Structure 1
Amino acid sequence: MTVRAPFEIHWNSPEELAALQSKRLPQVLEWASASPFYQERLFASGAPPTSVDLPSLPLTTKQDLRDQRPFGMLAVPRRRVATYHESSGSAGQATPSFYTEQDWEDLVERYARKWVAITAEDTFLVRTPYALMLTGHLAHAAARSRGATVVPGDNRSLATPLSRIVEVIRDLRVSLTWSMSTETLLWAAAARATGLDPTSDFPELRALFVGGDPLTPERRQRIGEIWGVPVVEEFGSTETGSLAGQCPAGSMHLWADRVLFEVLDPVTGTSSPEGRGRLVVTPLYREAMPLLRYDLEDDVEVSYTACMCGWPLPTVRVLGRSAWEYRADGRPVTQHDLEAAVFGLPARYGVLFWRARAGRNGLVMEFEVAPEYRADAVARLRTAVQEALGIVPDLRPVAPGSLVPHGLLTASQDVVKPRSLFAEHEDWDRAVLYH
């Protein structure tokens, strides 16, 4: 299944790839020496660290970035900064990120490494946040760099409810989309709510690009079946841009020619190029805000075993975050585990939306399912969860529309500009946010 890679290859083995990384590290350390944070931590006394010293340097954490906001991580004069971004993440605290124009060249190139190529013939819907986050701006810039027509759909704007997005995909003949994977399920439900069939009524659609939320192989397969197109996954962050992308064989490959990756054993504190642990990254082309051994806090499994696609890059399985692991009746539970069980149910059951709560008294799961499949779905899901986790869940099937209301799928909100003059029947207490 060897296919041409959507990026230039200047190495033929893991050893040559490591040599390419080592060649870049002196530049990375030089850039880092201009950052107030790294000046104080690494360069204040004694000889500055070299490439050989990198594995022994302390980790850079998300909290470090938060503590240094706004300018403690900045390594270039402010006049050279092209864009500033923030990601609040799960902690609710802003994590700053700066990029120069040169940094953006690298960001765009890595994002555009899709095996379903972005072309000038495409109409590309961006359905991730613009605001302060990187994700929407990155997809927008990458699509424009390839000549595509961009539709800036956002996903945190009152002006683009789900019904409007479905209308845009159909009427503008959108061929590529970028969103969280959960969004694609919501679009499918919204389309069906208006009598459209996602598989047949959007013939221009070529692929769904997804990232930003956990995605098991089971759910990725289900989304592909619903829409009848490839689902191409991406892994990255606002602090780093794209770190990995999916190949035609379905594996995720780390962009190790642009970023140095380590797998950290959280128990021993040691790291290695592959294995299972937490992913630590050192971007090799990051000038505005260099990051040395940045702990993403994501649990992964990295392998250098050759992939059938032929891309000479390590593969990665993203397992989520241990911080998001809960315990039910004393046993560990992750969303990844439960999602695999839910989307292992037969497609004809129509189960798309679910939720669960873990606690000392066990695991409670609710999921939408049509009445005629309720008994079979409960029996199958109970067996799957028990086999995977050793827990007998309290399963509560609910009618379609209980977790994702029909009104959310069909609402068409009219958002207008703020104003100060109103008719007598209008609510002028909402002058600034009238809609």
Structure 2
Amino acid sequence: MIYDIQNETLPRDEMEKLQLRRLQALCERVYANVPFYRKKFDEKGVKPTDIKSLKDLSLLPFTNKQDLRDQYPFGLFAVPKDQIVRIHSSSGTTGKATVVGYTKRDITNWGELMARSFVASGASAADAVHNAYGYGLFTGGLGAHYGVEALGATVIPVSGGATRRQVMLLKDFEPDVICCTPSYALFLAETGEEMGIDIKKLPLRIGIFGAEPWTDEMRLQIEKRLGITAIDIYGLSEIMGPGVAIECWEAQDGLHIQEDHFLAETIDPESGETVAPGEEGELVFTTLTKEGIPLIRYRTRDLTTLNTIPCKCGRSTTRMKRVTGRSDDMLIIRGVNVFPSQIESILIETEGLTPHYQLLVGRQGNLDTLEVQVEVNEAMFSDEIKSLQRVESKVMKNIKEFLGVTAKVKLVEPKSIERSLGKAKRIIDNRDEA
């Protein structure tokens, strides 16, 4: 089933014509209404009328997260404040918060795109959705909520936290779909086991997981422990929130980008040059229909590849490969590039280890150090010390062989790594303190 046949199955040439019309209108709008963009365009010597084809996208300036912080709070809004009906914001934990505003039409579009996303995941209007994304300034909770309502399904607005209560609600309310971060899904499974509730035996059949990178190995863990189909959803508050792209349940072969609303490209993170479909690059989005805070060529820092081949599900939209890392999350340890997702894959494939881990980065003298702390399961925790040491050595060897970096591996007892109710904190970088 496809929610919006007309737009989700547009032939490539028709989609590109639509995108060009909307891109041209967008450039006219931001040049007229957003002083920040007028200055950016002028500095590059480009006018809205210079955009004659989608190839001319490369003429336009990039926007990055620091630009949003510099324009805090409302400097990038393209409409008067009395037309803004909702404001969302990032937490600002790594700097000044980024603020985004939505007009009434933005909210309507968002709800429709999330309804598309739910249908792509295999959900329908007959389903009940347990929404464990956080409500408030974070876009996840309300984004999913409005999508469920637009679809005509039943929303259970649980929000984050109170994990034992969430497990009870999964048992009592018998939802068909759950929305949360992938790491929290595993926490729910773990908590259910402690409470004597086997989530696999509940009616739950679909999980829609996003807000943090995760691997195929973690997907298999989630599907095994919750007895569901695990679907990857992608979004970011600066562009809209959740629902920018999602996997279809039929293929689960890349995430369908909502291309009639978001123009995607991939670039070389260093040079900024566009890379071809099929080559990995940094994902960049231009918001084609956003009214409140439209963005031109926003650099997400997420690394992926794009695939323009139509999917077997019937959708013709470009698909993006699952994001497994960010260009600004990449660790450089003694000259070697390492992504948390690469280490996660090695850990999950090792018998007796759980997906709960942290990477501690430090410095000894002039050299960087990496320590991987990972929880063992209950069965391994009861093993002899020699057995645990053998596993540590095996993981160290695999990290060295596959990633080319030397890491200390420390096995820690079950449930000793703090659980996150939202995005999991994987990296603790202490190099600045050394």
TM-score of Structure 1 vs Structure 2, range by shorter chain: 0.7 to 0.9
Q: Any conservation in 2 of the 1:36–1:74 contact (CA below 8 Å)?
A: no
How far is 1:319 from its partner?
A: 3.4
Structure 2 CA distance for partners of 1:404 and 1:26, relative to 1, 3 Å? closer
**Which of 2, 14, 36 is residue 5 of structure 1 equivalent to?**
2
Structure 2 CA distance for partners of 1:327 and 1:358, relative to 1, 3 Å? farther
Structure 1-normalised TM-score?
Answer: 0.83
Q: Any conservation in 2 of the 1:109–1:142 contact (CA below 8 Å)?
A: yes
Secondary structure in structure 1 of the residue aligned to 2:24:
helix
1:284 aligns with 2:288: yes
1:316 aligns with 2:314: no
How far is 1:377 from its partner?
A: 4.2
Secondary structure in structure 2 of the residue aligned to 1:128:
coil
How far is 1:210 from its partner?
A: 0.7
Deviations 1:42-61 (A, max 9, x none): 36998544433532111111
Secondary structure in structure 2 of the residue aligned to 1:382:
helix
Q: Give the share of equivalent positions with the same residue, in percent.
A: 28
Which letter does structure 1 place at the counterpart of 2:14?
E
Find the counterpart in structure 2 of residue 422 from structure 1: none
Which letter does structure 2 place at the counterpart of 1:396?
K
How far is 1:12 from its partner?
A: 5.1
How far is 1:179 from its partner?
A: 0.9
Find the counterpart in structure 2 of residue 393 from structure 1: 407
1:301 aligns with 2:305: yes
Cα distance in 2 for partners of 1:196, 1:142 equals 29
Structure 2 CA distance for partners of 1:47 and 1:216, relative to 1, 3 Å? closer
Q: Which runs of 5+ in 1 are unaligned?
A: 410-435
Which letter does structure 2 place at the counterpart of 1:401?
K
Secondary structure in structure 1 of the residue aligned to 2:360:
strand
Find the counterpart in structure 1 of residue 252 from structure 2: 250
Cα distance in 1 for partners of 2:245, 2:353 equals 31
Cα distance in 1 for partners of 2:393, 2:319 equals 35
Cα distance in 2 for partners of 1:350, 1:385 equals 15
Q: Any conservation in 2 of the 1:254–1:314 contact (CA below 8 Å)?
A: yes
Cα distance in 2 for partners of 1:259, 1:89 equals 25
Which letter does structure 2 place at the counterpart of 1:303?
N
Secondary structure in structure 2 of the residue aligned to 1:353:
strand
RMSD between superposed Cα atoms in Å: 2.5
1:23-102 aligned at under 5 Å gives the runs 23-32=21-30, 33-42=32-41, 47-52=47-52, 53-88=56-91, 91-102=94-105
Cα distance in 1 for partners of 2:280, 2:85 equals 36
Which letter does structure 2 place at the counterpart of 1:320?
G
Which letter does structure 1 place at the counterpart of 2:415?
G
Between stretches 179-188 and 261-270, larger displacement belongs to 261-270
1:145 aligns with 2:154: no
1:178-193 aligned at under 5 Å gives the runs 178-193=179-194
Q: Any conservation in 2 of the 1:103–1:287 contact (CA below 8 Å)?
A: yes
Q: Which runs of 5+ in 2 are unaligned?
A: 422-434
Which letter does structure 2 place at the counterpart of 1:365?
V
**Which of 326, 333, 336 is residue 328 of structure 1 equivalent to?**
333
Q: Any conservation in 1 of the 2:122–2:206 contact (CA below 8 Å)?
A: no
Deviations 1:220-277 (A, max 9, x none): 1111111110111111101112221012222222222221111112333222462221
Secondary structure in structure 2 of the residue aligned to 1:323:
coil
Cα distance in 2 for partners of 1:9, 1:29 equals 25
Between stretches 270-279 and 46-55, larger displacement belongs to 46-55
Secondary structure in structure 1 of the residue aligned to 2:220:
helix
How far is 1:187 from its partner?
A: 0.5
Secondary structure in structure 1 of the residue aligned to 2:286:
strand
Find the counterpart in structure 2 of residue 432 from structure 1: none
Cα distance in 1 for partners of 2:337, 2:358 equals 16
Between stretches 395-404 and 231-240, larger displacement belongs to 395-404
Deviations 1:77-99 (A, max 9, x none): 22211111111366332111111
Structure 2-normalised TM-score?
Answer: 0.84
Find the counterpart in structure 2 of residue 364 from structure 1: 371
Cα distance in 2 for partners of 1:332, 1:313 equals 32
Find the counterpart in structure 2 of residue 213 from structure 1: 212
Structure 2 CA distance for partners of 1:245 and 1:265, relative to 1, 3 Å? same
Bigger proportion of residues as helix? 2
Q: Any conservation in 2 of the 1:254–1:315 contact (CA below 8 Å)?
A: yes
Cα distance in 1 for partners of 2:206, 2:197 equals 18
How far is 1:136 from its partner?
A: 0.9
Residue-pair matches, total: 396
Find the counterpart in structure 2 of residue 415 from structure 1: none
Cα distance in 2 for partners of 1:354, 1:140 equals 30
How far is 1:26 from its partner?
A: 2.3
